[in-house]
Amino acid sequence: MQLSIEWLPAQGDPAQLFVLLHGWGETGHAMAPLAQALREQFPQAALLAPDAPQPSETRRPGRQWYGIQDLNEQTWPQRVSSALQDLAPWIRVQQQRLGVPPAATALAGFSQGAILSLALVTRQHDIAGRVLAFGGRFVSPPDMAPPETTIHLFHGEDDKVILVSGTREGLDQLVALQVDATADVAEGIGHELHPVLIDCALHRLKSHIPLRTWQAALGSR
C-alpha cells in the first residue's frame, strides 16, 4: 500500500505509532487533519496514513478498502475479512520497521477505516493498544474481548451514512464483554471527521486511563 502520509519524529526513534485509515472514496490525505492534531500532541509518534489498495468503484481518484456495490448485511462481513487479509500483515510490518510494539500502536479510522479497525482488534488481540473509530460500527457483534486494547468510539449525531445507533450498540456490546471502551457523540455533526470529534479523541488519548491499568493497580494492593 502506498503511504499518503508518513510523518516521523524530528529526532530519535518513534515512541508510538498511529495508523490512520481513511474512508471510502478517499485517500490517506483525507486523514491529514487528524494526523496534524496528533503530531502536535504526540511529537515523538510516527504517523502513517496509507491509501487503500483498491481504486474506488465510482469516485475517482479515490480508493476503497472494499467494494460497496451490492453491499448488504450478508456480504459485508466477508468483504471486511478480505480487506483485513492485506491490512493486518501490513501493520505488523510497519511495527517492525519502526520498532514500535503493538501496545504502543493506535489504529485511527474513519468510516470504512473505522470498520476495519474495530474488526481487526476483535480478531487479532495483539495488534494494537488503542482504537479511535470515527463514524464506524461493527459489521457483526464482537464475540471476544481484546484484553489489551482500549476502544474509543466517536460519532456525529446527524450521521445519515452510518447511523449513530451503531456506535451506541457497539458500546453496549463491548461493555457486555468487559472491554475497556468509551463513546462520544456530537450533536449537529454528520458523516465527517469533524474537528469536534478530533478534539474528543485527543482528550481521550491524554486523559483516559485504561481499565487494565486500574485493575493492575488495585490488584497490587
Of 80, 87, 26, nearest to 58 (Cα)? 26
Q: What are the residue ranges of helices labelled H in the chain?
A: 32-41, 76-98, 112-121, 165-176, 195-207, 211-219
Q: Is 51 a catalytic residue?
A: no
Catalytic residue among 22, 152, 155, 191: 191
In angstroms, the CA 49 to CA 207 distance is 24
105-110 vs 16-21, strand pairing mode: parallel
Q: Is 159 a catalytic residue?
A: yes
Q: Which cell is 33 given?
A: 487533519
Catalytic residue among 4, 51, 111, 155: 111
Q: Is 86 a catalytic residue?
A: no
**Which helix H or strand E contains 17, and what residues bound it?**
strand 16-21
Whether a cis peptide bond, with omega within 30° of 0, leads into 50 is no
In angstroms, the CA 149 to CA 138 distance is 16
Active site residues: 111, 159, 191
